[in-house]
Chain A
């Protein structure tokens, strides 16, 4: 118990010491690197996951393939993928991005697909019946109705990416993982725990952002029905 309190004190000291907040080795710089990797991978992953998910969800074609690929991709160890891509492509940002994108696509893809496919067939039938084109059915009905699930997929992906972007430190690309990797190699647990704390806080912030976003962009009509069921 004392030990734990002691550790917490040390981490507190580490987090508040001024040298952590300045320069290339400081938290702001590492955070920026971390956010750049995370943001870029999430963007690519969303592009792939949303496009495929909407397409397959709307047409119903390739549903089985999507589910299989997404599940398979989930089973790939991120760290292993980084090592593999570094071996193949050399030391650069690419392996980290590839690994993170591979991690983020499945939840986005599956949730988008499920969200669109889960739209009540009667509603879809009505949308076509009143004269919507396929594009209008997708944009005006299916996407708004699938939005709660689409946002869930994006949130899960974002949190995983933010937490996993620490692997960028292994090939020496910086990010918040730097603190953890350095701390581990130097047996400096203060540094490890301090770095981890920042990552955890970042994940929480992402969670809060998505909750707020959901509140703003999901139609109240869908929230009412969700609270009913």
Chain B
């Protein structure tokens, strides 16, 4: 779809923004370009719509060298969203969104009708149509920016740090909205960010760039976290990539036990018999009521009489990831995570150790599979993925700490 062939961009002052980049971006997915500032990610993006011309190599779009197309014409067929939205302050919201259709020569009426549709698509109320950009919040402006980019329904969308200028809450909202929109539209999206969390959250594929404009790794988010190509990538994806990997594991796969889950009607003695410091008290529908500390239970009666400690938060076996489960365990007063089903009924509980054991068990087949694709002979020699991982970690040296975090998941799983 979008192809970079040995593309470089050098500036007359001697800086190299992009160095010999070859990359092919798949149609219909979100490719995130990520890296520290000055790594050439924005330059790479801007070479796709000829906002920057490469000094060497070719960029092609759907098999056609983009230099064959006159730049303004090319850009009208590619959506473009930038950091501060870059709306035209002298035009109403509706006319901002209608910009590209108008440039393409649509009638004013048709262009505005299309703009009104898009306003709705990005989740803004129709009465905003007549306002001006300065009357909108940053988040709203960014939505208008996205709507403007979608004006002529281009197959490709370029987004240059579109959500980085808004506060974290609005950013999370925009990201969720963006994922929803992409499910509906299936555009080919190239997305630049310096935020690795955003990259992992949004990207189908991630290209990590290093300073000097070199591509360090191009992979799926899962593989980027599991098998960073080198120290730079490992460092960039962060010390807590072990934790982040949990985002890709479904909570449904973690093992739960229900011995410590008791209905409010059960006698106090049964809680003591459970041999746990805490028991989870549930109602008749198994909805969680709260934690009861066994040491503080009354002499007799039922658990309904026991003082309850609030729950913290539960995780859902239906929608949540293993990361949410671990989070739930760490925040729980009993150190136990509470897993609920779609109706909110308790399925069971697990502590952090049990979770990591379960995660490791769920991961092993996948890791072996990955390794098989990558380096089949090595797998045969190593026998199991676990030793493969530890060997990998030793090779990394400088990254030992990160390695430990990720590694502990594996052996822990073996012991339990």
Which one of A126, A136, A219, A220 has the greatest number of beta carbons of chain B within 10 Å? A126
| B148 at the A interface (CB under 8 A) | yes
**Which bracket fits the contact residues of A?**
20 to 34
Which of B129-137, B217-225, B281-289, B369-377 is found at the contact surface with chain A?
A: B129-137
Chain A residues whose CB sits within 8 angstroms of the CB of B73 once the complex forms? 131
Give 1 or 0 for each of B99-141: 1 = CB within 8 Å of chain A CB. 1100100000000000000000000000000001111000000
Chain A residues whose CB sits within 8 angstroms of the CB of B83 once the complex forms? 122
Bound CA–CA A95/B60 (angstroms): 61
Q: Is the CB of B86 within 8 A of A122?
A: yes
Nearest opposing residue in chain A for B92, CB measure: A221
Chain B interfacial residues counted at CB < 8 A: 31
| B306 at the A interface (CB under 8 A) | no
Q: Is the CB of B99 within 8 A of A221?
A: no
Chain A residues whose CB sits within 8 angstroms of the CB of B151 once the complex forms? 130
Q: What's the minimum C-beta distance from B199 to chain A, rounded to whole angstroms?
A: 22
Majority secondary structure of chain A interface residues (helix, strand, loop or mixed): helix
Chain B residues whose CB sits within 8 angstroms of the CB of A147 once the complex forms? 90
Bound CA–CA A120/B85 (angstroms): 12
Q: Is the CB of B76 within 8 A of A145?
A: no
Q: What's the minimum C-beta distance from A125 to chain B, rounded to whole angstroms?
A: 6
Chain B residues whose CB sits within 8 angstroms of the CB of A120 once the complex forms? 86
Q: Is the CB of B89 within 8 A of A123?
A: yes
Nearest opposing residue in chain B for A127, CB measure: B88
Q: What's the minimum C-beta distance from B313 to chain A, rounded to whole angstroms?
A: 40
Bound CA–CA A136/B75 (angstroms): 14
Q: Is the CB of B88 within 8 A of A123?
A: yes
Q: Is the CB of B88 within 8 A of A129?
A: no
Partner of B134 from A123, A140, A141, A221 at Cβ < 8 Å: A221
Q: What's the minimum C-beta distance from A135 to chain B, rounded to whole angstroms?
A: 10
Q: Are A129 and B51 CB-contacts (below 8 A) given A145-B89, A221-B89, A221-B132?
A: yes
Partner of B103 from A122, A136, A222, A228 at Cβ < 8 Å: A136
20 A-B pairs with CB atoms under 8 Å apart are A125-B82, A126-B85, A126-B87, A130-B80, A130-B100, A130-B149, A130-B151, A131-B73, A132-B72, A133-B72, A136-B103, A140-B88, A141-B88, A145-B90, A219-B90, A222-B89, A224-B135, A225-B89, A225-B132, A225-B134
